[in-house]
Every structure is written in structure tokens, then in C-alpha cells.
Amino acid sequence: MDIQLLLAVFFGIALLLFLILKLKIQAFLALLLVSLAVGIIAGMPPSDILSSMQEGMGGTLGFVATVVGLGALFGAILEHSGGAQSLAAYMLKKTGDKKSPWAMMLTGFVIAIPVFFDVAFIILVPVTYALSRRTGKSLLLYALPLLAGLAITHAFIPPTPGPIAVADILGVDLGWVIVFGVLTGIPTAIVSGPLFAKFISKKIHIEAKVFDEKKEEISNVPSPGMILWIIVTPIFLIVLNTLVNSPFFAEAAIPGLIVYIIELIGHPFSALIIANLIAWYFLGIKRGMTRDYLLKISTRSFQAAGVIILLTGAGGAFKQILVNTGAGEMIAEALNNSFFNPLVFGFIVAALIRILQGSSTVAMITAAGITAPVLVGAGLSQPQIALMVIAIASGATILSHVNDSGFWLVGQYLGLTEKQTFKSWTVMTSLIAITGLVSSLCLWYLI
């Protein structure tokens, strides 16, 4: 084992944490600085270091920037149409008060597919206040299932930015990530959502406070069926394309024209463009939104997307440095000679970074950059790499605490003390992480 390469990797990770935690340098700049430092310590020529960074940045952003940008546009129109509230109200009506925690979990699970976690939470949290006031039960009984659904989808299922970035860095088809994201996400949501909420709400009773819920009344709210149809459309097209091009259909006599059309509309670019056009017309123009208003909310949606895009690009640069120095190959050989499952490796790396610096997105992208070189020459199938994405996402969700903005957002909106937030939100995120890892390991040994 090359000691110089090993030192370069460990120094790079330590430097990244120091820059982010101690010096408070933005993660985008920190990742680029670390890429330079690792290349220098590994002995790469300056031209190779910079060309590797350019290659990694450009190769990653070609896909991620397009998908994240289209996803942000899609979510903005859904958010401003009132569709999230409409879907939540419909599910609650169907389930009634007794099963409303399950309805909140399902609502969060679906709504977080196109809408960012914090935005979806702020939109839907008033529904949990109303339920708590109506039943007299702890606010946590309804809020935690909502949060579980939101957090799991945000971490596990494209087209949310985190799994898109990790999938691209690891080189796996998004369709497989969606399939395994759903398969692992459902049991994870059940354990960390309604089941945990039922337990902890008996220990911690939180009265729903009266918040200043200033929101515009939206007339002509879209139907729940329409919202589900629009959200599911791009997911269906992407998964269909993945299945048609998988070994399952290798010997099927599908006409060439049909395969051509599916490949065209089932690519994430095309699927999200179609979803945006449908949402733009049915949720926007047809419901009275002016073109100027649609342009305004669409442009504003790029603000959050821009940070994710740049951060992901820097993560791609870091990955390429590790690949080109040979550090990734070295780690891969060490793993292959041990009984250490690569899923567990990705989970631990993401978990350590998450616990130390707080941001799940930074943890996912950094862990993907470290893990990607390990997969080179490992001979893993696309489904196996998709499960790697889930394992990394699980690790990046664990143990949210005071260095995570989500910790304070949840505590503030639910009226929790720091101790109560630890006992509820922090434990819930850890349940998501552990259940997600266990689920992905079970599928790993089944496929």
C-alpha cells in the first residue's frame, strides 16, 4: 500500500473538515482547495492536477446541472400552485384522524420528490398543527411522520439533488436509484415515521402553538389526482427506460421504434422537460397564473439550485483527483482483501462527514467522491451501485444535531427545546440511517 497516497487521502479529508468547521469556508471552495492539496501531496504534476479538476467538474455538471435545474423549476410550479396542500388534505380526508400520521408520511414521501425538503416542510407543517389541535394529541405524532417522508425522499429518490449528484459521481442509471430508493424508503419511512412517532409522542407531549401562518389563499387549487399524475410522470418514464434497457428485457421482441421513443422520452432530461411543460400548462397557465408570474417563480427557483450545482461540481473534481492519483484503486484493493462490504464503507464515510460538519448534501457528495474510485474495476452491477447510493444517502442522514440547519428549523417550527429536538428529530434521522442501511444490505444480498 502506497503510504504517500494514504496520507494524501486522510490529509484531504481532515483539511476539508478543518476548512468547513473551523474556518467556515464555503464547501464549494473548500472542496476545490482540498482537491489541489491531495493532488500536490500525491505527487501529481500541476498540469495534471488542474486538468483532473476540470475533467471532474465538467463531467459531473454536464448531467447534474441540467437535471437539478429542471427539478428546481418543476418543484417551484408545484409549490406555488397549492398542490401540496391539496394532496395532504385529500389523504387526510381518506384516512381520517386515526390513520392521519400515515397520511402525513405518504404526503411527505410524495411531495419531497419535486420540492426541496425545507420548502415542503414549511408548506405542510400547518396541517400538522391543525391535526394536533383537533385531536389534542402531541404535535410530534403528526409532524414526525411528515418529516420522515420528506427526509427519506429528499435523500433517497431522484430527482432531488442529493441522490442525483451521488448517482452521477458513482456512474449509475437514475432509474435504478429510483427503484431501490422506493424499495428501501418505504420500510424506512414506516419505522422512522408513524411507528417511532407513536412511541415518542407518548413520552413528549407538544401543544401545537399558534404560529403566524401568513400565506396567500390560492383559488382554483389543482386536484390531488392531477398532482400525483404530474409528479409520477417523470419517474415512470425514467424507470420505464431503465427497465427496457435492462437484462430483464434483453430478449424481448420490442419494436425498434418503441425502444427509440422510450429511450428518448425516458432519459432524465426529456422526462423532466415533459414534466415541466405539463406542470407549466396545467398548474400554471390553465389555473390563471400569468406568464410573468411563472417566469418570476421559475427564475427564483434557481437560487437554491445554483448552490447544489456548484457544490456537486466541486465534488466531481475531488473524485477525479482521487481516481487519477490512484488513491481510489488503492482503497479498492484494501477493501477487496477484507470482508468489509462496500455499502458499509460508503455509509461510514458519509456518516462521519455528516456528524462532523452537519450538511447532508456535503456529506453525500464528499462520500461519493471518496467511494467512486473504489468502484472502478470492482465489477459491480448497476443495481448494486444504486444500492451504494442509498447507503451513502443513509449515512448522510444520520444524527442531525446542532451543526445542521434542519435541527434548528424543526425545533423552531414545532416549538421544541433543544433536548426535545434531540430526543425526537435526531433519533428519527438516526433511525432513517440505520433502517436505510439494513434495507439496502438485505437487497444487496438478494440481487
Mean pLDDT of 44-66: 88
pLDDT at 216: 46
Per domain, the residue ranges of the chain are: 3-446
pLDDT at 292 over 70: yes
User: Each residue of 394-414: b (16+ CB within 10 Å) or e?
Assistant: bbbbbbbbeebebbebbbebb
Can you tell me the distance from the alpha carbon of 192 to that of 397, in angstroms, rounded to the nearest whole number? 12
Mean pLDDT of 436-442: 96
pLDDT at 212 over 60: no
pLDDT at 335: 60
Can you tell me the distance from the alpha carbon of 416 to that of 17, in angstroms, rounded to the nearest whole number? 29
Mean pLDDT of 172-180: 92
The predicted-structure confidence for 247-278, as pLDDT tens digits, reads as follows 666 556 678 888 899 999 988 889 889 989 99
Can you tell me the distance from the alpha carbon of 16 to that of 64, in angstroms, rounded to the nearest whole number? 22
- Which has the closest alpha carbon to 164: 278, 268, 29, 77? 268
Q: Is the dihedral of CA 40, 44, 48, 54 positive or negative?
A: negative
Q: Are 437 and 191 within 8 A, CB to CB?
A: no
Q: Are 400 and 150 within 8 A, CB to CB?
A: no
The predicted-structure confidence for 281-291, as pLDDT tens digits, reads as follows 998 888 888 88
Read off the DSSP letter of residue 116: -
- Which has the closest alpha carbon to 144: 114, 120, 108? 108
Q: Are 71 and 272 within 8 A, CB to CB?
A: yes
Name which residue leads in pLDDT, 40 or 162: 40
Can you tell me the distance from the alpha carbon of 407 to that of 427, in angstroms, rounded to the nearest whole number? 11
Mean pLDDT of 195-215: 78
Can you tell me the distance from the alpha carbon of 186 to that of 163, in angstroms, rounded to the nearest whole number? 16
Can you tell me the distance from the alpha carbon of 229 to that of 52, in angstroms, rounded to the nearest whole number? 42
Report long-range pairs for 432-435 (Cβ below 8 Å, ≥24 apart): 432/148, 432/151, 432/152, 432/155, 432/188, 432/192, 432/394, 432/397, 432/398, 433/347, 433/351, 433/394, 433/395, 433/397, 433/398, 433/399, 434/394, 434/398, 435/187, 435/188, 435/191, 435/192, 435/394
Name which residue leads in pLDDT, 228 or 329: 228
pTM of the model: 0.79
Q: Is the dihedral of CA 360, 363, 366, 371 positive or negative?
A: negative
Can you tell me the distance from the alpha carbon of 306 to that of 61, in angstroms, rounded to the nearest whole number? 11
Mean pLDDT of 128-153: 90
pLDDT at 214: 44
| Structural element, H or E, at residue 144 | helix 140-156
Q: Are 53 and 35 within 8 A, CB to CB?
A: yes
Reported as a pLDDT band with limits 50, 70 and 90, residue 339 is low
